[in-house]
Amino acid sequence: MTTPDPYPEYHRLRAEDPVHHEPATASWVLTRYADMEGVLRAPGWSCDHRNAIDHQRWLADMGAPEAIDSLMSKVLLFMDPPEHTRLRSLVSKAFTPKAVEGLRPRVERILDDLLAPLRANGEMDVIADVGYPFPVTVICELLGVPVEDRDLFRTHTRQLAIILEWQLTNEQFMGAAEASFAFATYLFPLFEERRRDPRDDLISALVTAEVDGDRLGPDELLTTCVLLLTAGHETTMNLVGNGLLALLRQPDQLRSLRDVPTFGRNAVDELLRFDSPVQLTARTALSDMEVGGQCVRQGEQVIALLGAANRDPAVFADPDRLDLARANANRHLAFGAGHHFCLGAALARLEAEVALTALVRLPGLELAADDVEWRESQTLRGLQALPISFWEQ
């Protein structure tokens, strides 16, 4: 899945073995849209890694302390109802489409500040110069992290994003644990400061959020802030990078965007479908379940290849063609589905729309390299770098 183009392999798997069994890892790999949508929306499937058959073996292999395992179980991504429902209800108010749209002027200002010194150069690396700092700056400002402290977050977010991977090495896991400790050391005092002196920021909103007398505990505050930082920055960075690369390789679609005032949601959805920033997600069967004519036993996991679902010809006509006017582009599963549908979807769409609207309008825009290198990752699909050139302004 780290190949430059995994989609031919997805098509092969879908045609030959769409519900593929991996006995060694007690898992099943899904490549059909209908199978994945059913699993993501249906009850009886768990996001809690502790329900998997081989979880204890995995802990032993990683040398993972129980405390770290317990902390991971408080991450929204890995929670099931009713705990997931409770935590999401306390966080979601800040991420409604209306609330996020209100952030547009701030998001546009952050991007303008990033691009201003770059416009005179005639070249940039979209990943390093925009894709990475842009969403990190947005989420830090939204959270209320002081400007002088943001380099800490830029340093550790990539270490922590590794927890999204399907399979980790011991070194990766321990690196994520160290980054988590660094965040805890910084954030716990900041939580207390915001309790004493609330401000107009998300951390203040989270520490005071209450539903039916219930509030977030310290660990939940930590894991929620860390998730917003890591998942939010990685996915948006990859969306901007993958999306712009796709447009540069298909100039007719790039030209069509220059004729409209703003990028538009449908175009963002089609780029999400075409080359998904998140390629897979996992669920564990809480009882014996039937998927695509196969019996998935209790405790076995299914690996839903979201990138394959988004290129399924049963749902998307001519799926390997980028079509920004595609009528059903919004049916993609890049943000998941069901009660775990991506909490930050509206913010990711806004950031991508703002960034890509500005980037595609750079005069003389061209890809400045014959080949691009993809990062080594199974879950997250993104570029190491995306060098572009344009006319100096």
Burial of 359 from C-beta contacts in 10 A (0-12 / 13-18 / 19+)? buried
Greater confidence (133 vs 311) lies with 311
Q: What is the pLDDT of residue 80?
A: 93
| 40-44, Cβ contacts within 8 angstroms, sequence gap of 24 or more | 40/281, 40/283, 40/304, 40/333, 40/336, 40/337, 40/338, 40/340, 41/337, 41/338, 42/338, 44/285, 44/286, 44/287, 44/289
Q: What is the pLDDT of residue 211?
A: 59
Q: What distance in Å separates the CA atoms of residue 161 and residue 35, rounded to the nearest whole number?
A: 27
Cβ atoms within 10 Å of 12's Cβ, excluding its own: 11
Least confident of 98-107, 141-150, 366-375: 141-150
pLDDT tens by residue, 219-259: 888 888 888 887 778 889 999 999 999 999 999 999 888 87
Taking a C-beta distance cutoff of 8 angstroms, is the pair 124, 370 a contact? no
pLDDT at 52 over 60: yes
- 134: which 2 tokens? 């842009």
Domains and CATH numbers, the chain: 7-389 (1.10.630.10)
Greater confidence (311 vs 75) lies with 311
Cβ atoms within 10 Å of 49's Cβ, excluding its own: 19
Q: What distance in Å separates the CA atoms of residue 45 and residue 12, rounded to the nearest whole number?
A: 27
Q: What is the pLDDT of residue 49?
A: 85
For residue 70, what pLDDT band results from cuts at 50, 70 and 90?
low
Least confident of 191-200, 260-269, 304-313, 377-386: 260-269
Q: What is the pTM of this model?
A: 0.91
Beta bridge partners of 388: 124, 367
Angle (deg, nearest 10), helices 170-196 and 150-161: 140
pLDDT at 1 over 60: no
